Amino acid sequence: MSVSQTIRDFITLAIQSGGWMEMDRLYLENRVIAMIGEDSLTQAEIRRVTESAVDLVDLLLIQAEKNKVITDLQAEKDMLEAQLMDLMTPPPSVVNAYFAQYYSKDPVQATDYFFKLSKDNDYIKTREISRNIIFPAETEYGELEITINLSKPEKDPKQIAAERQVVKVDYPECMLCMENEGYKGRLNYPARTNHRIIRMNLDGKSWGFQYSPYAYYDEHCIILSEEHRPMKITKETFQRLLKITEVLPHYFVGSNADLPIVGGSILSHDHYQGGRHTFPMAVAEIERTFELKAFPNIKAGIVKWPMSVIRLQGKNQKDLIEASNMIFQNWQTYSDKDLQIVAETEDGIQHHTITPIARRKDDLFEMDLVLRDNNVSEEYPDGIFHPHPDVQHIKKENIGLIEVMGLAVLPPRLESELKEVEKYLLDEDNSIADYHAEWADQLKTNNQITHENVTEIVQKAVGAVFARVLEDAGVFKRDVDGQEGFTRFIETL
């Protein structure tokens, strides 16, 4: 296919995306010619296009590199790709108008529109996400979800060297700021020209709704404050989470904890994560119920889960907000030193917070409150309630909102490392990492391993390690002492 035909087909898709009209065709084609370093457009037909915009952009990037508009640096390719895909994306005002139009009919139609747009214009990196290794893991807590994250490309030495030459710029302030919308990007900052944000009003405050470029689950979205301010769990958090489930009843929404070690990766910008996905924790059963005397209309219970989770259900949002806040405030000041649970250390630093998750269950609002403690000790300098050293060969990063709910996001190193573990188990030549050796020896001892079952055995063992990781992060352990301690806390409520 000629370059001119590629350009014409790409602009046909751009017009179909809803941001342009046929009258704009020549203008758009000339824009693309300039962007990829061509001087003219030869004869090409306007026809039905079967290729995706992503595939056509790949061809345009090859031509741009031939024309020396860009080099082979991935960041340069990403920036030009985002600029081209911006033509596939209506302006923010138009996207928001379409969203509102669909929303007036059905919230599901609105998110379907925005989700499709974000995939079609390659803001959501569907091809990269498809590289992730995903498998289930059956445990005593139900079926957990395991993902080895391969979607974000590793930086090559040339890219790293180029980034070092870039002058530091503090704009946008962070990856979640509204100023990312339409931002070209830099060699050391991701391109966001094709990025769009839906504006949301949450109880009089301005928030934004967008999808995650490297989604970990179905319709992985982010709801972010217009104001760049640190994350902080307060009574308003519960209020906003429930409001979001009212606005988007088909989505769950949750917040990372707001303290280091137990918090998420971006604590500098107030935001929540949600989506159209049923996590393992959402279907976990309540194993013990209890009464909140101040809130007789709220059903309360402890969830059968490796972490310490209180679930509240009710029809009245106000009652649920007040009950959640009461439990949160009690937890902030609660200590049980026999279990190494300390709310505040002698230096006056507070160590207790929660990871809250809200969802709808028919006519009920549901709130899960996951108790968190970020204390460290001489024995556990990374965190007492953090993955302990014997499981860090699989997962040593923070246990954030997504992991809390039962989806492991594991580092890309495991793709190759687990293959070496399999070779080791089969007594083949291997380069097994030293930190996997003891674990692999246990697998060898406890299993009859063959070429047919080795992958299944390793994946099942990874799932068991992830369950242990979550148990490590649980403040009230699943043993007798831990559950008696949980009961003591419940009695304070």
- Residue 296 is predicted with a pLDDT of 96
- CA–CA gap between residue 349 and residue 351 (Å, rounded): 6
Instruction: Pick the closest to residue 403 from 288, 490, 273, 301 (CA basis).
Output: 273
- Residue 201 is predicted with a pLDDT of 94
- CA–CA gap between residue 193 and residue 182 (Å, rounded): 4
Task: For residue 364, give both structure tokens.
Answer: 């009920």
- Residue 155 is predicted with a pLDDT of 67
Buried b or exposed e, range 52-83, using 16+ CB within 10 angstroms? ebbebbebbbeebbeeebbeebbbbbbbbbbb
- Residue 164 is predicted with a pLDDT of 76
What Cα–Cα distance (Å) separates residue 32 from each residue in 17, 56, 119, 261, 475?
A: 16, 12, 21, 46, 56
- Residue 460 is predicted with a pLDDT of 97
Amino acid at the residue 328:
F
Reading phi first (left if > 0) and then psi (alpha if -120 to 50, else beta), residue 389 is in alpha
Q: Are 384 and 375 in contact (CB under 8 A)?
A: yes
**Residues 266, 245, 371: CA angle, nearest 5 degrees:** 55
Q: Are 371 and 334 in contact (CB under 8 A)?
A: no
Q: What is the 3-state secondary structure (H, E, C) of the chain?
A: CCHHHHHHHHHHHHHHCCCCCHHHHHHHHHHHHHHHCCCCCCCCCCCCCCCCHHHHHHHHHHHHHHCCCCCCCHHHHHHHHHHHHHCCCCCHHHHHHHHHHHHCCCHHHHHHHHHHHHHHCCCCCHHHHCCCEEEEEEECCEEEEEEECCCCCCCCHHHHHHHHCCCCCCCCCCCCCHHHCCCCCECCECCCCCCCCEEEEECCEEEEEEECCCCCCCCCEEEEECCCCCCCCCHHHHHHHHHHHHHCCCCEEECCECCCCCECCCCCCCEEEEECCCCHHHHCCEEEEECCCCCCCCEEEEECCCCCEEEEEECCHHHHHHHHHHHHHHHHCCCEHHHCECCECCCCCECEEEEEEEEEECCEEEEEEEEEECCCCCCCCCCCCCCCHHHCCCCCCCCCHHHHCCEEEECCHHHHHHHHHHHHHCCCCCCCCHHHHHHHHHHHHHCCCCCCCHHHHHHHHHHHHHHHHHHHHCCCCCCHHHHHHHHHHHHCC
Question: pTM value?
Answer: 0.94
| CA 160 remoteness from chain centre | 25
Per-residue pLDDT 10s for the chain (493 aa) are: 899 999 999 999 999 999 999 999 999 999 999 999 999 999 899 999 999 999 999 999 999 999 999 999 999 999 999 999 999 999 999 999 999 999 999 999 999 999 999 999 999 999 999 999 999 999 999 999 999 999 976 666 777 777 777 778 899 999 999 999 999 999 999 999 999 999 999 989 999 999 999 999 999 999 999 999 999 999 999 999 999 999 999 999 999 999 999 987 789 999 999 999 999 999 999 999 999 999 999 999 999 999 999 999 999 999 999 999 999 999 999 999 999 999 999 889 999 999 999 999 999 999 999 999 999 999 999 999 999 999 999 999 999 999 999 999 999 999 999 999 999 999 999 999 999 999 999 999 999 999 999 999 999 999 999 999 999 999 999 999 999 999 999 999 9
Q: Are 307 and 271 in contact (CB under 8 A)?
A: no
Instruction: Pick the closest to residue 191 from 215, 173, 175 (CA basis).
Output: 175
